[in-house]
Amino acid sequence: MSAMPAQALIDEGAVWAALAEVPDPEIPAVSVVDLGIVHRVDVGADVIRVEILPTFVGCPAVEMMRSAIADRLAGLAPRIDVDVTFAVPWTSDRITPEGRHRLAASGFGPPTGATGLDAPIQLGLAVTCPYCGSRRTVMENAFGPTLCRSIYYCTDCRQPFEQFKTV
Amino acid sequence: MTTIRASLATGVDPALRNGLAELLRSLADDEFVIGFADSEWTGIAPILEEDVAMSSIAQDELGHARAFYGLLGDLLGEDLDHLAYDRPPEAFRHCRLVDHARGDWAFTMARRYLYDTADAVRLEALAGSSYAPLAELVAKVRREERYHLLHVDAWLRRLATAEGEPRDRLVRSLETLGPDATTVFTPLSDEEALVKSGILPMPMAELRDRWLDALASVFAELGLPMPPRNADLTRGRDDHSDAFRWLYGEFTSVRRLDPEAIW
């Protein structure tokens, strides 16, 4: 084994670049970085530690994300730790502008309105249809096929679509 | 799930461990039992959109239970699935409010309304807990529970203002559940020490009063029967019903086939 310190070999920028290639298991068009799930990256001498924030506490995709991140980073360091934390709550504000663009391109409406416990949840706000761009859309159900999504319907192009919940 | 901030759990004053464990177990068991009970509506809700909504709400609650069991597991050094599935039914510490059979839709909505609004008061207080892993988790849980509150508030008002059978069923359900409503706030055995340490920011009795005061204005507006303020809470989290024993049989049935199975 080389006696050279491994510290210099792990570049935090390269870790973030690799994370940007890890797709969300349910919406592969967006990465875990696009969704704002990565809370922190710590680079040690021979370990990379990543902390992720679940979009919802009961999200069943969290374990898949952990293993996908560990698989993608394998090779960058001898040890990869991927931990789940609630140190700060994930909110839909954490989705990056690029992430919102990619969600729309995949048929998902963006979260609308203010987040936070003091801001009322406004179910009546118009959401832009990701297919035709119309604002003439109606909420069908605040709950959807996954914990993080609501169901909408576009009265112009007559397509149902899903929106990321505002949390 | 990976241990969440396990390092913090090891720093808990040994004198407070039992009390904290009791608090975490009550939070986890409440969410676990109501989550499983509500999941019974999957496939049989009165309308399709409600099938989606109740399934999603139930999944949220089971997710919250899992996270609370995770904190309990960190504290006790135990596996969270073991905590959730391998206890005998009498070791569960959910409150009597969630110990009833599913009942009809009005009964389910009545129970959800009482539980969700009481839980919201409890969580608001726990967001200020001195036990950081709990305060952090609660901050996230509260953002999700807001959607449940919005949903059940709409149903309570819809049933209460409908004339005839829907309203009658709602009122009957609230009367049945009334004596058990405040069991969410059953005092903990080590409560004084928990309050003193800031783990529980205020006594359960104070949370109960805060909840009933908020409930009174909504129930007065809708002409609904209020739960009694001074119900007997001595066995508020014990003495489980046959309905719960049946539910327990259901939710442990796969686990019991092969407790050592790896999924």
Give the CATH number, domain containing residue A37.
3.30.300.130
Residues A16 and A80 in one domain: yes
Residues A15 and A76 in one domain: yes
- Which pLDDT score is estimated for A136? 95
Does a structural domain hold residue B2?
A: no
Length of chain A: 167
Residues A117 and A71 in one domain: no
Strand, helix or coil for residue A74: strand
Residues A73 and A14 in one domain: yes
| Mean pLDDT of the region A155-161 | 96
Residue B146, pLDDT > 60, answer yes
- Which pLDDT score is estimated for B1? 37
Tally of CB atoms within 10 A around B67: 26
pLDDT in tens, B4-51: 444 456 679 999 999 999 999 999 999 999 999 999 999 999 999 999
Does a structural domain hold residue A89?
A: no
- Which pLDDT score is estimated for A112? 85
- Which pLDDT score is estimated for A8? 58
Residue B241 has, within 13 A of its CA and on its CB side, a CA count of 15
Does a structural domain hold residue A94?
A: no
Q: Are B63 and B34 in contact (CB under 8 A)?
A: no
Determine, for residues B151 and A144 on separate chains, whether the beta-carbon distance falls below 8 Å: no
Does a structural domain hold residue B117?
A: yes
Share of chain B above pLDDT 90, in %: 93
Burial class for B13, CB neighbours closer than 10 Å (0-12, 13-18, 19+): exposed
Residues A19 and A72 in one domain: yes
Rounded distance between C-alpha atoms, residue B148 and residue B169, angstroms: 21
Does a structural domain hold residue B231?
A: no
Report how far apart, in Å, the C-alpha atoms of B93 and of each of A102, A109, B88, B256 are. 45, 41, 11, 21
- Which pLDDT score is estimated for B259? 87
| Sign of the Cα pseudo-torsion (A10, A13, A14, A17, in order) | positive
Share of chain A above pLDDT 90, in %: 82
pLDDT in tens, B186-241: 999 999 999 999 999 999 999 999 999 999 999 999 999 999 999 999 999 998 99
Does a structural domain hold residue A93?
A: no
Residue range(s) defining the domain that contains residue A54? 6-84
CATH code (residue B37): 1.20.1260.10
DSSP secondary structure string, B42-92? TTTSSSHHHHHHHHHHHHHHHHHHHHHHHHHHHHHT--HHHHHHSS-GGG-
User: Considering its fold, how many domains does chain A have in total?
Assistant: 2
Residue range(s) defining the domain that contains residue B23? 13-226+237-257
Rounded distance between C-alpha atoms, residue B81 and residue B252, angstroms: 11
Rounded distance between C-alpha atoms, residue B138 and residue B120, angstroms: 10
Does a structural domain hold residue A102?
A: no
Does a structural domain hold residue B99?
A: yes
Closest chain A residue to B1 measured between Cα atoms? Answer: A63
Chain B interface test: which of A40, A51, A81, A86 (most B C-beta within 10 Å): A86
The angle formed by the CA atoms of residues B62, B67 and B73, to the nearest 5 degrees, is 120
Residue B137, pLDDT > 70, answer yes
Rounded distance between C-alpha atoms, residue B76 and residue A136, angstroms: 53
- Which pLDDT score is estimated for B87? 96
Q: Are B70 and B25 in contact (CB under 8 A)?
A: no
Does a structural domain hold residue B7?
A: no
Q: Of A53, A84, A115, which residue sits at a domain end? A: A84
Residues A119 and A159 in one domain: yes
CB pairs under 8 A between A and B: 87
User: Considering its fold, how many domains does chain B have in total?
Assistant: 1
- Which pLDDT score is estimated for B8? 56
Band the pLDDT of A119: cuts 50, 70, 90. confident
A131 CA: distance to closest CA in chain B (Å) = 23
Residue A6, pLDDT > 80, answer no
Does a structural domain hold residue A76?
A: yes
Residues A121 and A62 in one domain: no
